Amino acid sequence: MHEYFMAESVLRIVEESARAHGLNRVTGIAIEVGELAGVDREALQLALHVVLAGSIAQEACVTLLVVPGRGRCTRCGRVVALATRYDVCPACGHPGVAVTRGSELTVVEMEAG
Ligand SMILES: [Zn+2]
């Protein structure tokens, strides 16, 4: 139920920012989901549906944007694409690739009606 807690934190962010901007209704939410964040996107959509019901964003259209994984090899310094956070560097085979992008979940956009 990892996704359920994520959905609740999305709602908190949306409510806070709606309050800060004096909005009464949120019609759209875009969320960036990192490929390496370990999020089941289908489960997150479902959890959001449950969590947003009865909230200021209950009719909001939710868009999940996938952020591809990236990392920097700690040996050769190359920036490489990562499918999982345990990938080895494709250039030198070193297992120490530090994730630089794709491990986060961020609310990037809100629309209000
Ligand atoms: Zn390398």
71-83 pLDDT tens trace:
999 999 999 999 9
Ion ligand 1 neighbours, Cβ < 5 Å: 73, 75-76, 89, 91-92, 94
CATH number at residue 30: 3.30.2320.50
Rounded Cα gap, residues 2 and 72, in angstroms: 27
3-state secondary structure of 26: strand
Give residue 1's pLDDT band: very low, low, confident or very high (50, 70, 90): low
Six token digits for residue 78:
């190359």
State in Å: Cα 88 to ligand 1 middle.
8
| 91-103 residue pLDDT tens | 999 999 999 999 9
Q: pLDDT at position 10, please?
A: 96
pLDDT at 113 over 80: no
Q: How far is the CA of 33 from the centre of ligand 1 (A)?
A: 26
Determine the Cα–Cα distance for residues 94 and 76; give it in Å rounded to an integer.
8
d(CA 105, ligand 1 centre) in Å: 27
Look at residue 58 and tell me if it is in a domain: yes
Question: How many domains in the chain?
Answer: 1
